[in-house]
């Protein structure tokens, strides 16, 4: 697949699927500009070549109806500030209004179309709607990893109207490259850190990556399903009792594939799921009744440090504890520091999945990682071995 650098967009009208689904406060101010910043290199390339960048995105879930709360007009000034250029906002994404605005554009212009999801046809992937979008432009660029796992009109169906005149933007190309680096690495050892509350939500990922990794660090609530399956006492800790056999099966498969599983050896236990709970450090398999594990203990962190330091590739998907409460954030912060140190020494680190991304941002660790993914669901589906429709559409 040709990269965006293989094309010259001079005098081309370029339809760009971006992911500007950004959080807004009650006054419609953008509270996290990452996604807009991430799209800037692709937009810059198009307009610097002398093309017109026609940006399309969704925002929130308006359920196929017009709703000013979800209008992309709210993000225009912030987008102009980040891009350092004027952005022409169009009050529709298809039809006469959009066609007129595009016809009036000049090389180097940036146009932002109204929210795609004001039309139910977007999420349904309706051909006629896709064709209306395609008719606005000469070329199609998909730079929205966050929606690449959806077969929507603007992410997948539209691509077929452009033949060879389509490609990935820089952001989407980087996401694919980073995931491929983890999933197809020739460098060893490869370590996956999997956290989160449920084994069931990670089972497909675990099964898909066992052949590709050397170490798996298990943290978060899913820890206790494994510990209980091994006969440990977990007190009131979260546990999927119907997944105990599955946990044992994962441990067995890992052993067969020479993957070292690292479970916590000690736990910071609390007498309530609360920021002001009483706490004590206990062995991971001896949590007293009435207590629950909410973070890992110091011995666990000590044992993980060399594993992380020696890794050549690290995938981090999920925190080690309930980092949203300060009392239970230490494990996640320390793990982040270990990964940051390893990255500084040449390790490739990929962080993805909502909670781990939130954690690295919250604790100022994001700039110290090799790559922080912009697409939670899309990244998880790629880790599960699925082919994403938005990626396939460009490759076909």
pLDDT digits (tens, 9 = 90+) for 122-135: 999 999 999 999 99
- Asked whether residue 232 is marked as a ligand-binding residue, the answer is no
Q: Pick the last residue of a domain from 173, 197, 219.
A: 173
One domain, residues 269 and 320: yes
- The pLDDT assigned to 387 comes to 87
Please check whether residue 389 lies inside any domain of the structure.
no
One domain, residues 28 and 133: yes
Place 202 in a pLDDT band, splitting at 50, 70 and 90.
Answer: confident
- The pLDDT assigned to 50 comes to 98
* Alpha carbon distance 164, 174 (integer Å): 21
One domain, residues 70 and 121: yes
Place 222 in a pLDDT band, splitting at 50, 70 and 90.
Answer: very high
* 380/170: higher pLDDT: 170
One domain, residues 257 and 356: yes
Among 38-47, 72-81, 343-352, 373-382, where is mean pLDDT lowest?
A: 373-382
- The pLDDT assigned to 1 comes to 63
- Asked whether residue 73 is marked as a ligand-binding residue, the answer is no
One domain, residues 352 and 247: yes
Q: What's the total number of domains in the chain?
A: 2
Q: What is the pLDDT of residues 88-124, one digit of tens each?
A: 999 999 999 999 999 999 999 999 999 999 999 999 9
- Asked whether residue 35 is marked as a ligand-binding residue, the answer is yes
Q: What is the pLDDT of residues 236-259, one digit of tens each?
A: 999 999 999 999 999 999 999 999
- Asked whether residue 202 is marked as a ligand-binding residue, the answer is yes
Does residue 376 have a pLDDT over 80?
A: no
Active-site residue set: 35, 198, 354, 377
CATH assignment at residue 306 = 3.40.50.1260
Please check whether residue 56 lies inside any domain of the structure.
yes
One domain, residues 191 and 169: no
The domain containing residue 284 runs over which residues?
185-383
Please check whether residue 394 lies inside any domain of the structure.
no
Choose from 193-207, 271-285, 342-356, 380-394 the range with maximum mean pLDDT.
Answer: 271-285
What is the mean predicted confidence (pLDDT) over 299-325?
Answer: 96
One domain, residues 125 and 201: no
Among 40-44, 53-57, 114-118, 382-386, where is mean pLDDT lowest?
A: 382-386
Please check whether residue 358 lies inside any domain of the structure.
yes
Average pLDDT over the chain, rounded to an integer: 95
Does residue 374 have a pLDDT over 90?
A: no
One domain, residues 151 and 216: no
- Asked whether residue 352 is marked as a ligand-binding residue, the answer is no
Please check whether residue 109 lies inside any domain of the structure.
yes
- Asked whether residue 355 is marked as a ligand-binding residue, the answer is yes
Does residue 353 have a pLDDT over 90?
A: no
One domain, residues 138 and 237: no
Q: Of all residues in the chain, what percent carry a pLDDT higher than 90?
A: 85
Q: Pick the last residue of a domain from 129, 148, 173.
A: 173
What is the mean predicted confidence (pLDDT) over 164-191?
Answer: 93
One domain, residues 226 and 364: yes
One domain, residues 56 and 160: yes
Place 354 in a pLDDT band, splitting at 50, 70 and 90.
Answer: low
- Asked whether residue 66 is marked as a ligand-binding residue, the answer is no
- Asked whether residue 169 is marked as a ligand-binding residue, the answer is no
């Amino acid at each position: 697949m040709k990269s965006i650098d293989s094309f010259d967009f001079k005098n081309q009208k370029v339809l760009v699927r971006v992911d500007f689904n950004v959080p807004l406060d009650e006054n419609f101010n953008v509270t996290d500009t990452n996604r807009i910043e991430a799209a800037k290199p692709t937009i810059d390339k198009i307009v610097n070549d002398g093309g017109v960048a026609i940006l399309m995105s969704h925002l929130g879930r308006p359920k196929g109806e017009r709703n000013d709360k979800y209008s992309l007009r709210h993000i225009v000034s912030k987008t102009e500030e980040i891009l350092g250029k004027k952005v022409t906002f169009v009050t529709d994404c298809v039809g006469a209004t959009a066609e007129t605005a595009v016809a009036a554009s000049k090389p180097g212009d940036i146009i932002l179309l109204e929210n795609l999801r004001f039309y139910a046809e977007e999420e349904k992937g309706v051909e006629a709607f896709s064709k209306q979008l395609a008719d606005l432009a000469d070329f199609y660029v998909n730079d929205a990893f966050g929606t690449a796992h959806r077969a929507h009109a603007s992410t997948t169906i539209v691509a077929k109207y452009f033949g060879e005149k389509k490609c990935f933007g820089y952001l989407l190309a980087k996401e694919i490259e980073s995931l491929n680096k983890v999933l197809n690495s020739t460098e060893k050892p490869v370590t996956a850190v999997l956290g989160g509350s449920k084994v069931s939500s990670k089972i497909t990922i675990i099964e898909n990556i066992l052949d590709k990794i050397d170490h798996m660090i298990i943290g978060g609530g899913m820890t206790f399903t494994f510990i209980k399956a091994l006969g440990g006492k977990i007190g009131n800790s979260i546990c999927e009792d119907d997944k105990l056999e599955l946990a044992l099966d994962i441990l067995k498969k890992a052993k067969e594939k020479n993957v070292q599983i690292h479970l916590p050896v000690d736990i910071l236990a609390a007498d309530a799921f609360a920021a002001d709970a009483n706490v004590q450090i206990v062995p991971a398999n001896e949590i007293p009744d009435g207590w629950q594990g909410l973070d890992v203990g110091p011995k666990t962190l000590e044992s993980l440090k060399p594993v992380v330091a020696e890794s050549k590739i690290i995938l981090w998907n999920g925190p080690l504890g309930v980092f949203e409460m300060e009392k239970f954030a230490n494990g996640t912060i320390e793990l982040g520091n270990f990964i940051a140190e390893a990255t500084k020494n040449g390790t490739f680190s990929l962080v993805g999945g909502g909670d781990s991304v939130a954690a690295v941002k919250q604790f100022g660790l994001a700039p110290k990682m090799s790559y922080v993914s912009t697409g939670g669901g899309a990244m998880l589906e790629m880790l599960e071995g699925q082919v994403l429709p938005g990626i396939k559409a460009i490759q076909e």
